[in-house]
Structure 1
Amino acid sequence: MQLGDVIASFRRRKRIDQKGMAAQLGISVSYLSQIENSNKMPSGKLLNKISEVLGIPVTTLLFETMDKSSFNDPEIQELFNRAKPIMDEMINILLAE
């Protein structure tokens, strides 16, 4: 999944519309839309603000962009497969707050 898809998915799960999120971030709705459509990449500073608004650590946003095929080593792939359900549960807890 691309970073923009992850951001959009978490925003919707938190029931924040684009207008409200853009206002909290201090950016235009158009710019947020470009980020969510993966036409623009947020700066590190903006990515930190996005994570704060969503209540999700930046590392979690980035983790969600990965899948098993992100790794060549079978042992790492297995570790990823075991970690993914735990991360998913953590995300569900964070988003429920």
Structure 2
Amino acid sequence: MNIGEKIKALRKQKGITQTELGKKCQISQVQIARYENGVNRPSQKVLKKIASGMEVPVNFFDDIYSINDDTLDAEYDRLKKVLVKDEYKFVLSKIFNSLYLTCQAEMSLNDD
């Protein structure tokens, strides 16, 4: 999910229009639409305004540019080497399950 899609999904989840979000953030509705449609990419300063307007921490939008499959594979391999205790494996399984449910919820928002 790119940044625009994430903004749109969160905005819809919050039940606000582009115009309402724009007013909260002091950004035009047209510009909000451009971010959501991937025409423009918001700066970090704008992301802070959007995060504030939607009452989420700015890090809600973090790492969406830099994580790739190689990074994830390397992190997974690193974890496999140290997860020797069953309780660690249990906690990791809960984290993966939570992530899976979050991804499913985001995908259902995008289907709208």
Kindly report which structure 2 residues correspond to 1:1-97, keeping only aligned pairs within 5 A, or say none. 1-62=1-62, 69=69, 71-73=72-74, 74-75=76-77, 82=95, 85=98, 88=102
Gapped runs of 5+ residues in structure 2?
81-91, 103-112
**Matched-pair contact (CA < 8 Å) for 1:19–1:29:** yes
The amino acid that maps onto 2:73 is N
**Matched-pair contact (CA < 8 Å) for 2:35–2:41:** yes
CA–CA separation in structure 2 for the residues paired with 1:25 and 1:39: 19
CA–CA separation in structure 2 for the residues paired with 1:41 and 1:68: 19
Amino-acid identity (%): 23
CA–CA separation in structure 1 for the residues paired with 2:37 and 2:61: 15
CA–CA separation in structure 2 for the residues paired with 1:43 and 1:19: 19
The amino acid that maps onto 1:38 is G
The amino acid that maps onto 2:31 is Y
TM-score (norm 1): 0.70
TM-score (norm 2): 0.61
SS of the counterpart of 1:71?
helix
Aligned-pair Cα RMSD in Å: 3.2
**Matched-pair contact (CA < 8 Å) for 2:5–2:37:** yes
CA–CA separation in structure 1 for the residues paired with 2:18 and 2:47: 15
**Alpha-carbon displacement from aligned partner over 1:51-92 (angstroms, at most 9, x marks no partner):** 11111112122356787735231336886x93672694xxxx
CA–CA separation in structure 1 for the residues paired with 2:39 and 2:7: 13
**Matched-pair contact (CA < 8 Å) for 2:25–2:52:** no
